[in-house]
Amino acid sequence: MKITSIRTYFVTPRCLLVRVDTDAGITGVGEALPDKGAATAGAIKHLASFLLGKDPRQIELHWQEMYRGGFWRGGPILNAAISGIEQAFWDITGKWLGAPVSALLGGACRTKVKAYRGIGGGTLDELANSAKEAVKAGFGAVKFGPIPTTRWMVSASVARAAGEQMEAVRQAVGDEVDILLDFHGRLGPAGAIQVGLAVAPFRPLFIEEPCLPENVDALAQVARSIPVPIATGERLFTRFGFREVLEKQAAAVLQPDLGACGGIFEGRKIAAMAETYYVSVAPHDPYGPVMTAASLQLDLCTPNFLVQELGGLGEGVLLEPLKIEGGYLIPPDKPGLGVEVDWEKVEKSQAEPFDPPVIYLEDGSVADW
């Protein structure tokens, strides 16, 4: 089997699909990190120039070629490009063997995958009602971001508001529902500790990115200063990027993004590393349905899986959207990633590449996104 083409497609609102065709008539699909999408699409085109004519089933060999073949390694653009292509290779291999990707990674150790829904609202009542609606729909876990665009050091009002939001949601859903918080890396360690202590009495399942993971010692400082588990990983790449977080016990939950960390098999390697530290895995995925399908395959065969962020289910993109029942993603019964893209619709509805806007504070300085 040989690769005949590798193409990219931008899909609204925030999705970058990668299509790999072969001379055997098998087409594979993957999804890459869509942010700075034009640059990632260019990297995919570059990688395709030496992958054409090769066997897509040699996934590990091609991963090593893409990652180690040049002098410079790492970063979001290269790893996003590798990730999208790698997912498509697994999709092809699974279809060729007539088996889901999870079976090729050791087999499923669960029958369905717990997912969480994002909630929001401009007032405490709206936030609480959003949480109630999620629970009514069957979700046993919800997530929201209590931190506005702000400085690294927060005012008393920011910490108080975060605590009030957390309290409102906890009162709305009770103790049986998991509440996840995302700080978006907007705070420094001192600010994150202040807010972490404000929300701690209401027992969030974890705080995601209390500060950026660039300085692992700072993240570890937060982890040791508040009685709430810390999660991080969406902005880390490959197992090498996660190593120090584990060694310094800076997080209780890792969140590899399969569209940026290096792909499905790299995600499995990261999860295996985490397991040796008794650390859970909750893949990051606010994007499209192929990323959700890829994450689902990893979740099925990962013993230390915790909960899955719910990306797109595929309406308008997949021939058959993914199914969610009672807050759980249901594995498709098809081989590979288990999904088929409606390429005719995708061809007709291509979007512009997505690029996150720059955000400014009131004094004109740049804020963290």
**CA geometry: angle 216, 186, 221, nearest 5 deg:** 30
Residue at 259 is within a domain: yes
Report how far residue 264's alpha carbon sits from residue 299's, in angstroms, rounded to the nearest whole number. 10
Mean pLDDT of all residues in 241-258? 98
Helix, strand, coil content of the chain in percent (nearest 5): 40, 20, 40
How far is 32 from 287, CA to CA, in rounded Å? 9
Indicate if 87 and 116 belong to the same structural domain.
no
Structural domains of the chain, count: 2
- Band (pLDDT 50/70/90 cuts) for residue 230 is very high
Which bin fits 262, alpha (ψ -120 to 50), beta or left (φ > 0)?
A: left
State which residues form the domain around 240.
103-337
Are residues 166 and 95 both part of a single domain? no
Do residues 74 and 143 both lie within one domain?
no
Query: What span, in angstroms and rounded, lies between the C-alpha atoms of 61 and 83?
Result: 14
CB of 368 closer than 8 Å to CB of 211: no
Any domain includes 347 = no
For residue 44, being part of any structural domain is answered with: yes
Residue 61 sits in the same domain as residue 202? no
Whether 342 maps to a domain, the answer reads: no
332 and 271 in a single domain? The answer is yes
**pLDDT of 352 higher than 90:** no
CATH number of the domain where residue 141 is located: 3.20.20.120
Q: Is the pTM of this model over 0.85?
A: yes
Catalytic residues: 184, 284
Domain boundary among 53, 82, 99: 99
Q: Please report whether residue 300 resides in a domain.
A: yes
Quick check: is 58 in a domain?
yes
**Domain identity same for 40 and 162:** no
Q: Is the pLDDT of residue 152 over 90?
A: no
Which domain CATH number covers 60?
Answer: 3.30.390.10
Pick from 51, 70, 99: which residue ends a domain?
A: 99
Residue 202 within any structural domain of the chain: yes
In a shared domain, residues 284 and 206: yes
Q: Report the chain's mean pLDDT, rounded to a whole number.
A: 96
Confidence band, pLDDT 50/70/90 cuts, at residue 355: confident
Strands 280-281 and 230-232: unpaired
Contact criterion met (CB below 8 Å) for 232 and 183: no
Average pLDDT over residues 268-272: 98
Let me know whether 178 and 87 are in one domain: no
Of the residues 53, 72, 99, which one is the last residue of a structural domain? 99
Q: Where are the alpha helices (DSSP H) in the chain?
A: 37-51, 59-68, 76-97, 101-104, 124-136, 156-173, 189-199, 216-225, 238-247, 264-276, 289-300, 343-348
Q: Are residues 92 and 125 in the same domain?
A: no
User: Does residue 51 sit in the same domain as residue 178?
Assistant: no
Q: 219 and 83 share a domain?
A: no
The verdict on 111 and 82 lying in the same domain is no
CA dihedral 193→199→202→203, nearest 10 degrees, is -40
pLDDT digits (tens, 9 = 90+) for 174-190: 999 999 999 999 999 99
Interatomic CA distance for residues 91 and 62, integer angstroms:
15
